[in-house]
Structure 1
Amino acid sequence: MPEIAPDPRVAGRARWNGLLLLAASFLSVTGGAVTTVALTFGLLELKGQADAVGMVLASRAVPLILFLLLGGVIADRIDRRLLMIAADGLRATAQLLLGYLMLFGGATIPVMMSLAFIVGMGDALFVPSQSGLVPELLPQCQLQQLNARMGLVSSVAGIAGPVIGGILVKLAGSGLAIAVDGLTFVLSALILAQIRRPAAAHQSQSIGRDAIWTDLKLGFQEFLRRRWLTLMVGQAALFHLLVLGPLFILGPLMFKGAADGALRWSELLSAWAAGGLCGGVAALNMKPRYPLAYAAALFPLSAVIPASLALPLPHVVRLSAFGFGSACLAVFAVFWTTTLHTKIPSDVISRVSAFDAVVSLSLLPAGYVLAPALLAAVGINDSFWIGSAVCLACGGVLLSRDVRALQS
């Protein structure tokens, strides 16, 4: 059967929707990075204690983990664009109020924790809604490029955000920097309001207590019935628990006593960000017939990151290893996200994406907690070797035909 040429007006609207999503994503990620810097220095000025920083940052992470699955259920029943706008409004209100209190007084630790909790609830609504909205707005042939561009936008925002935050804190103080983050959420909501959903987009449905539990159950069943999905999420779980979590605790510890140790570690993180950018650019034009197998084959190559810390290598070699490993992970992320968008039905994708995200978000803090135990048990070098071995073992998912044979 001959392929029907797409309506130019529909294709143009899809491209415009993609650009709007990219702009909203850039503002949200940049604002979040600004806040991380501003909140840390603001709390240290206010209390002078690191534990206060941890409590407030945790207050934002906890509701994201607790309510992400619920957010997925709601996003599969309600207009996802409106839900993202509402989430931005919630986060903007909390951040603007926090900025005001930090500027003019009244920003106690309990108040800051409460407002951070509200922001985390907004995150729990926004994340699964965005995951479900992308395939709703664009045809499948444009999903890979949009996912690659969103990865690029996140990398650029992750680099620019801390720099902007540091400049704002130095020139105007933490309160104003956090208020700027609130304004980025306002701008993001205004941009999202310009998106026009296709007529075939899923329609809103009523939500009740029984419906929530039923939808959670159905979402979990959809998650379990795809072997390739459970294997890949299991791989991500091991990576966050045994590689990424310990790496970001033990890496700085390794450089703590060295001359210019903090600078060297920050250079490695910059190489990680640069590698992510390069990987995102490379993924724009890749079109493998078996994208999931391609992604799964690239994932073990990230073993060079912890291995470079376990070996007594020159700093430039470690920089190259961090950049290369990060580029592989960035390409993996593009094909993984695109596979979810193309292989999961639109009426359950927010829930399935939420299950995927919950695994990563919950096990990364567990990896932070595990790091000191690994250090005490086997030492810092062997901890990195364990991480490298786990990355290589993740290639075992290629033994499954469900992973190897899934076509684009």
Structure 2
Amino acid sequence: MTWSSALAPLREAGFAWYFASRFVNTLGVMMASIALTFAVLDLPGATATDLGLVLAARTLPMVLLMLWGGVLSDRLPRTLVLQVSNLASALSQGLIAALVLTGRAELWSLAALAAVQGAVSAAGMPAMASVVVQLVPRSQLQPANTLLSLSRNGLTVLGPTVGALIVVALGPGWALAIDAGTWLVSALLLVPVRLPARERGATTSMVAELREGWTFFRTTGWLWTVVLAFGALNAIHAGAFLTLGPVVAEDTIGRQGWGYVLSAEALGLVAMGVVLLRVRLERPLLWGMACIAAAGLPILILGLDPRLAVLVVTAFVAGAGIEVFSLGWNLAMQENVDEQMLSRVFSYDYLGSIIAIPLGQIAYGPLGEWLGMAPVLVASGVAYAAICLLVLCSRSVRTLPRRDLADVAG
């Protein structure tokens, strides 16, 4: 793959505007993720359990509404769904920032507004995942997905560190306020995007369309196998790395050090993204599941010996592995699922992948306080890698190939 072909998606006007929208939005989100964490921990008497409750409050509405979001995104123009979702996120994040900046934030108010964000994300996420196939030719799916990953991951190299610096210098409220502004700009940048007309079959009920997506999901071996695994993997990541990780960091490498760890993971994502701009990814799920097993390493190190240098190196390796899986999964879905039901299938993917996250977010705080942070983190790191390798026992996962362009659905 030449550099000219790697950058070809940016010559498509619709994709270019969408790319800009995602870029601006990601800039704010990467700072806000660390800001919200420490906004909760700054509350009087806040614990890891309190942080888990706020994170779970965002995830639960996503679990409840994700399938309906997939149906909406298959029925309505996907850019319209994204614009409404972005505007609602701008409003809710702006309210969180105002509460934090004025010192009026309480656990219940942060949890309530996080729940609003989760509800609107339930509609936006399936649309965001499925709209790419309408913006570029099928031959450009790999570079288009890789460019989006590079923009996101490039910003996450600096975003968490900048966010941590803002938190230290000004407090978490300002980072949250910046994120609210980027959600608004992101919605405006989608206005010029024009999607091609979509052919729809006979109108059916939303329940019938959900059933159609479910039938495809449950009868596709590689699809349900990977999603089932990620139900456990994401619960471990959310509970061990994202909930216990900042708590352990606070007492060891510090808040700024935790920002460096998150940025190192993002740098690994970027480095692998550059490689994948030039190298065609064959056997996308074989390589994806094998490589993402490395994401268990920083969890393991947090439990064994949370030194900054070691955590930074393992986070970099984990990021590279996550990028291989991310591209492989997007290609597997976009090349093997009909565009007319792609949002619905992505919604089943998201639902299965996130359904156990609230359990991890809620349970890991008390579990760490009861059994000790170190043993819980060590066991979680080992379990993460073991699950990834177990998935490769499925032949349909190991052997799924890239599809020839002539055979690609849609």
Shorter-chain-normalised TM-score: which range? 0.7 to 0.9
Once residues 328 and 162 of structure 2 are traced to their aligned partners in structure 1, the CA distance between those partners, rounded to angstroms, is 31
Q: Is the 8 A contact 2:296 2:381 kept in 1?
A: no
Q: Any residues of structure 2 matched to 1:7-406 within 5 Å, and which?
A: 15-40=12-37, 42=39, 47=44, 49-50=46-47, 55-100=53-98, 110-166=108-164, 175-199=173-197, 201-202=198-199, 211-242=205-236, 245-249=239-243, 251=245, 260=253, 266-302=259-295, 304-306=297-299, 316=309, 319-369=312-362, 371=364, 373=367, 376=371, 379-380=375-376, 381-397=378-394, 400-401=395-396, 403-406=398-401
- What's 2:5 paired with? none
Q: Is the 8 A contact 1:300 1:394 kept in 2?
A: no
TM-score by length of 2: 0.80
Q: Is the 8 A contact 1:144 1:334 kept in 2?
A: yes
Q: Which runs of 5 or more residues in structure 1 are unaligned? A: 1-10
Q: Is the 8 A contact 1:14 1:138 kept in 2?
A: no
Q: Check 1:94–1:240 CA distance in 2 against 1; reply closer, same or farther (3 A cut).
A: closer
Once residues 306 and 171 of structure 2 are traced to their aligned partners in structure 1, the CA distance between those partners, rounded to angstroms, is 40
1:155 Cα offset (Å)? 1.9
Q: Which moved more, 1:71-80 or 1:240-249?
A: 240-249
AA in 1 matched with 2:336: K
Once residues 96 and 379 of structure 2 are traced to their aligned partners in structure 1, the CA distance between those partners, rounded to angstroms, is 43
- What's 1:3 paired with? none
- What's 1:4 paired with? none
Q: Secondary structure at the match of 1:152?
A: helix
Deviations 1:44-65 (A, max 9, x none): 6665634665554443332222
Q: Is the 8 A contact 2:86 2:187 kept in 1?
A: yes
Q: Check 1:198–1:393 CA distance in 2 against 1; reply closer, same or farther (3 A cut).
A: same
Aligned residues: 391
Q: Is the 8 A contact 2:82 2:187 kept in 1?
A: yes
1:350 Cα offset (Å)? 0.7
- What's 2:408 paired with? none
Once residues 95 and 249 of structure 2 are traced to their aligned partners in structure 1, the CA distance between those partners, rounded to angstroms, is 38
1:370 Cα offset (Å)? 5.2
Once residues 294 and 34 of structure 2 are traced to their aligned partners in structure 1, the CA distance between those partners, rounded to angstroms, is 31
Once residues 133 and 235 of structure 2 are traced to their aligned partners in structure 1, the CA distance between those partners, rounded to angstroms, is 30
Once residues 62 and 14 of structure 2 are traced to their aligned partners in structure 1, the CA distance between those partners, rounded to angstroms, is 26
Deviations 1:216-270 (A, max 9, x none): 2111111112111112212322322446633445556666765x46666554433
Once residues 244 and 46 of structure 2 are traced to their aligned partners in structure 1, the CA distance between those partners, rounded to angstroms, is 21
TM-score by length of 1: 0.80
Q: Secondary structure at the match of 1:347?
A: helix
1:357 Cα offset (Å)? 1.2
Q: Check 1:330–1:223 CA distance in 2 against 1; reply closer, same or farther (3 A cut).
A: same
1:146 Cα offset (Å)? 1.6
Give RMSD over aligned pairs: 3.7
Q: Which runs of 5 or more residues in structure 2 are unaligned? A: 1-7, 404-410
Deviations 1:352-372 (A, max 9, x none): 111111222222333345546
1:191 Cα offset (Å)? 0.7
Once residues 75 and 277 of structure 1 are traced to their aligned partners in structure 2, the CA distance between those partners, rounded to angstroms, is 29
Once residues 273 and 204 of structure 1 are traced to their aligned partners in structure 2, the CA distance between those partners, rounded to angstroms, is 42
Deviations 1:315-345 (A, max 9, x none): 6555433322320221111111122112111
AA in 2 matched with 1:17: G
Q: Is the 8 A contact 1:27 1:184 kept in 2?
A: yes
Q: Check 1:379–1:340 CA distance in 2 against 1; reply closer, same or farther (3 A cut).
A: same
Deviations 1:96-144 (A, max 9, x none): 3444555568766555444333322221111111112111121111111
Q: Is the 8 A contact 1:152 1:280 kept in 2?
A: yes
Q: Check 1:251–1:107 CA distance in 2 against 1; reply closer, same or farther (3 A cut).
A: closer
User: Larger Cα Rg: Structure 1 or Structure 2?
Assistant: 1
